[in-house]
Structure 1
Amino acid sequence: MSEEILINVTPRETRVAVVENGMLQELHIERASRRGVVGNIYKGRVQRVMPGMQAAFVEIGLERAAFLHASDILRPQVQGTDAADAPVLEKSQPTPAISSLVHEGQEIVVQVVKDPIGSKGARLTTQLSIPSRYLVFLPQSRVLGVSARIEDEAERTRLKTLIAELANGSGQGYIVRTNAEAQPAEALAEDVAYLRRAWDVIKQAMATTRVGQRVYEDLALPLRAVRDLMRKEVTAVQVDSREAYERLCGFARQFMPELAQRIEHYTGERPIFDLYGVEDEIQRALQKEVPLKSGGYLVIDQTEAMATIDVNTGSFLGQRNLEETVYRTNLEAAQAVARQLRLRNLGGIIIIDFIDMTDDEHKRQVLRTLEKGLAHDHARTSVHDFSPLGLVEMTRKRTTESLERQLCEPCHECNGRGTLKTPETLTYEIFREITRAVRQFEAQQLLVIASPKVVGKITDEESAAVAELEEFLGKSIRFQPDEQYAQEQYDVVLL
């Protein structure tokens, strides 16, 4: 599998695309006016303690107060625990009452683990972690772990032994990241030295920073992309900015010298995203329907509570029988779903409605295909078996807004409903409003201003109803179309 990272830099926006075998798989966006805050460390003040929620709201200088749960204040104290790329809690430890951990007005150093999403504030933890190329440093923990994605037992043992030697009884924890697989001891030792220097700087800043200010900021998107996404499968990193290219080269020479030569400065005349078809893929990723090569299609809906994906056969008729047609469509859909989740950055609860299958082996194969497709996903996922209703339930860790919510806003005409009232519905609504207005106020004549589509419906198809209403009310009613009015907008004016 060949993989490339494309970096498009403009003064106000940076975009990073991950392309596998010529197909866009991931897109990361960072805008100067709205940088993500995940990984940043702040000095905050506890605003409110909510015992019923086992949580507190902390003011850290963002637009909304951030959320800190009691379980995110505790630290695991067991050594030798396996872990993924982020620290995890020891679930067996009981969580004390939030009021025994923090109090209103208390100053507290916290780290953002989830960006503000929708109407929710950022999610916080006091369990500080600092990532590097190969490690995650846990300065307040003794956990020494290896990413669960490294499956070779001999390699896991080597890395555990190595990180234990490098920790050297410091009483501080480390998680070995997936990128560390097959890396020499010298590379991990360099990361340990870098992380300790960074921690010294952070400790000094914690002592002098005021409440509501940032103590530590994670790297900018291009550097994060190289740090987190650069793997041995990546054949090239192409960046279209000379300044960003030089910065990336310097960063790579310091932290990943063996991969530095793969960073290239793109100087072509065509925009880099156009050359690889990324712009078209982005536009398609904002559509609800995703066509499949077989003729089937997916319908993806994102709501506040969850994302739902419906699989349809469409025009695919198959070669043998219905069960085989359904099975083939579901296999293709499973691969497409795994890609769309990464591309659209959908997170939280996800419900997939595959086409009903009767063969249990077919169901198992579809699940295996989905899990195999998700194996390359950097976000943590959990897939459950088919439910009695034939649905597949899964979760995907969400730390930032989805692609749609980063690039789009709710429709101003329908207020995000996704549908508009029909002209017929609005016609009868206007008739009721006219009747209400006449009963409340004195008027000789009424003027209704509405969109041309609604006025056309009333004057062409409902003229008899208008005449009946005028006779019933004893008033004259005039209709005026206005191009500036949205379909659901209208005014009833008393003259």
Structure 2
Amino acid sequence: MQRIMVVNALEPEESRIAVLEDSVLQELYIQPAGTEQYLGNIYKGRITNVERGIQAAFVDIGLAKNAFLHVSDVKAGNGESFLPTDSPTAKRRKDDTPIQNLIHKGQEIVVQVIKEPIGTKGPSVTTYVSIPGRSLVMMPGVVHYGVSRKIADEAERERLRKLLTELELPKDMGFIVRTAGVNARKADLQRDLRYLTSLWQAVEERIRSSQPPALVYQESDLVLRCMRDVFAPDIEEIVIDSEDVCRQVSEFLRMVGLGHRRLVKHYRGAAPIFDHYHIESEIQKTFHNVVPLPSGGSIVIDQTEALVAIDVNSGRYTNEADIEETALRTDIEAAREAARQLRLRDLGGVIVIDFIDLRLEKHRREVEKTMATELKRDRARSRVLRMSRFGLMQITRQRVRQGTKFALYDRCPTCAGAGLVRSVNSMVPHAMRQIRLGLSKKDVETLEVSTHPDVAERLANAKRQDLARLEEQTRTRIRIVHCPSFRPGQLEIVCHLRDGKKLTL
């Protein structure tokens, strides 16, 4: 299997990175134009209020909205330990100490963003600060040494643990060997250790000298972050369309001792790099609800505020003789594609997949196994529950930022994101009801009805006699105004009173 990393950084407003496996897009990372990235940043903040009812606090870190700090993310300062993990932050505390006994309003506190602001919510933060290197994650103030649970080979885990014990590790610092540290030598870990220690000393100096709220550590940009976190020895090429970024990546690889600078290639083709590798069309498909499957079936993806719903359709294979085998084959294809789409679209939270019903228990277990295997490739943490008798599978996937679609697209101003607008047939009786409401007000001389031209035309024609009757009964003039700038479902009623005042419904 050939794996290559393609970097589109020619436009300074937006960077994009894709990982291809045998020319198939498997991973996609985008840093949208004009959006700041907060995940992983460390701030010196001040607690604005402590909410006992929800056992959480809000911290002013200098952003538009205060950050949310849950009690389980408040370090008690007693050298707590936690299990090895590949998460960029430490595992939450699980004792029952109330938050009011740990922190108080007005207190200065050092926190790290673990979840980007999403929608109307501010960022989520933790006091379990951690800084990732290439092979190690350093966790100041938490004494623990371990190896990522994603490294399954027990012999390799034991070798890495032994290498950790041979290093001169600073006191009151925890270290975990990351998944990227597989096959690392002692010299690699030592180099990472020196880099992280030096970096933390600089952060500590900023913490001492800064007044809250202040940014004391900022995560790397998208390209260097992916080189640190995503690049792996099995990637055969790194193709970049920007000469400056080529130099940065080569220097970064040299600095961290990866020795893979020869893999970095500057793309000089006439066509945009993502079009050359047929990635652009694949990206556009990730914004479509319907995703075709190789067998002729499809999956339909709908994202809501509460959850992501994925429906599996069998397509043209419904006529085959063995319905159970057809359903199994389609469901396995759907599980693979659904896992891929979750990565590409960066969908998180609760995900419910409605597979085609399978009669045999062993077939349901096979689909579950396929989904679990595919999700192991995902850098985000996830959990798969067993498929129900009705073919429903529930998945939880770590959500640390808004999905790719919402990061790149604005909500439609016409339908407000619903995908539907009120029909003309429905708007006409609605407008008539609003007109009657306006006429019920006292001292109305003229009623002005502004709406979309299609609705206005229907009112002026189909409701001409009704409007004339209302004018006669109320002795009020009714004006229908065509407004091309109005949305199809938009209606504005203005009552002009006899004393010259206006009343807008």
Equivalent residue number for residue 298 of structure 2:
297
What is the RMSD of the two structures over their aligned residues, measured on CA atoms? 2.4
Once residues 296 and 458 of structure 1 are traced to their aligned partners in structure 2, the CA distance between those partners, rounded to angstroms, is 45
Match of 2:163 in 1: 162
Q: CA deviation at 1:31?
A: 4.3
Deviations 1:89-137 (Å, cap 9, x if unpaired)?
A: 376x513111111110001111111111111111111111110111101
Structural mapping, 1:41-60, within 5 Å: 41-60=42-61
**Normalization by structure 1: what TM-score?**
0.93
1:342 corresponding residue in structure 2: 343
- Whole-Å separation in 2 of the counterparts to 1:457 and 1:220: 55
8 A contact 2:90–2:128 mirrored in 1? no
Deviation at 1:61, TM superposition (A): 0.5
Per-residue Cα deviation, 1:369-417 (whole angstroms, up to 9, x for no partner) = 1112212111111101013543211111111110111012222122223
User: Structure 1's 20 and 458: CA in aligned 2 closer, same or farther, altered over 3 A?
Assistant: farther
- 1:3 equivalent in structure 2: 3
Give the aligned partner of residue 364 of structure 2: 363
Where 1:317 maps in the other structure, the secondary structure is helix
Larger mean CA deviation between 164-173 and 120-129 belongs to: 164-173
Q: Distance in 2 between matches of 1:220 and 1:115?
A: 15
Q: Which moved more, 1:405-414 or 1:429-438?
A: 405-414
1:81 touches 1:144 (CA, 8 Å); kept in 2? no
Change in 2 beyond 3 A, CA 1:435/1:252: same
| 2:208 partner SS | helix
State the distance in 2 between where 1:100 and 1:78 align.
17
Question: What SS does the corresponding residue of 2:440 show, helix, strand or coil?
Answer: helix
Gaps of 5+ in 2: 497-505
> Where in structure 2 are the equivalents of 1:89-238 lying within 5 Å?
89=91, 93-168=94-169, 170-238=171-239
Distance 2:446 2:204 in 1: 75
Offset, 1:49: 0.4
- How far residue 424 of structure 1 moved from its aligned partner, in angstroms, is 1.3
Amino acid paired to 1:126: T
Partner of 1:270: 271
How far the C-alpha of 1:42 sits from its partner, in A, is: 0.7
Q: Which residue does the alignment assign to 2:503?
A: none
Q: Deviations over 1:442-461 (max 9, x none)?
A: 55665533223323444566
Q: Name the SS of the counterpart of 1:440 in structure 2.
A: coil
Shift of 1:476: 6.3
1:354-393 pair list within 5 angstroms: 354-387=355-388, 389-393=390-394
Asked if structure 2 preserves the Cα contact closer than 8 Å seen for 1:311 and 1:333, the reply is yes
Instruction: Report the Cα offset of residue 180 of structure 1.
Output: 1.1
CA contact (8 A) 2:90 2:130 kept: no
CA contact (8 A) 1:79 1:142 kept: yes
Whether the 8 Å CA contact 2:382–2:396 is kept in 1: the answer is yes
Deviations 1:269-315 (A, max 9, x none): 11111212222222221222222233322221222222111112234
Q: Which amino acid aligns with 2:184?
A: Q
Secondary structure of 2:143's match?
coil
- Retained in 2: the 8 A contact 1:445–1:477? yes
1:261 matched residue in structure 2: 262
The residue aligned with 2:86 is 84
Whole-Å separation in 2 of the counterparts to 1:324 and 1:467? 67
Following superposition, the deviation at residue 29 of structure 1 comes to 2.2
Q: Aligned pairs, how many?
A: 494
Correspondence list, 1:68-83, <5 A: 68-74=69-75, 77=79, 81-83=83-85
SS of residue in 2 equivalent to 1:53: coil
Cα distance change of structure 1 residues 481 and 295 upon mapping to structure 2, 3 Å threshold? farther
| Corresponding residue of 1:454 | 455
CA contact (8 A) 2:38 2:113 kept: yes
Matched, 1:21 2:22: yes
Shift of 1:208: 0.6
Percent of pairs identical after alignment? 38
Evaluate the alpha carbon distance shift between residue 206 and residue 441 of structure 1 in structure 2; reply closer, same or farther with a 3 A threshold. Answer: same
Q: Is the 8 A contact 2:357 2:390 kept in 1?
A: no
> Which segments of 5 or more consecutive residues in structure 1 lack a partner in the other structure?
none
Q: Is 1:326 matched with 2:327?
A: yes
CA distances 1:63-87 after superposition (whole Å, capped 9, x unpaired): 1000111111227957794323445
Match of residue 501 from structure 2: none
Distance 1:483 1:79 in 2: 64
Please tell me whether the aligned partners of residues 73 and 92 of structure 2 are also in contact (alpha carbons under 8 angstroms): no
Q: CA deviation at 1:316?
A: 3.5
Contact 1:318 1:324 survives alignment (8 Å): no
Deviations 1:181-229 (A, max 9, x none): 1122211111111111111111111111120111111111110011111
Quick check: 1:85–1:176 contact (8 Å CA) kept in 2?
no
Distance 2:244 2:23 in 1: 26
Cα distance in structure 2, aligned partners of 1:167 and 1:16: 36
Q: Which amino acid aligns with 2:7?
A: I
Q: Distance in 1 between matches of 2:40 and 2:389?
A: 40
- Distance in 1 of aligned mates of 2:54 and 2:143: 29
1:419 paired residue number: 420
TM-score where L is the length of structure 2: 0.91
Whether the aligned pair in 2 keeps the contact of 1:18 and 1:27 (CA below 8 Å) is: yes
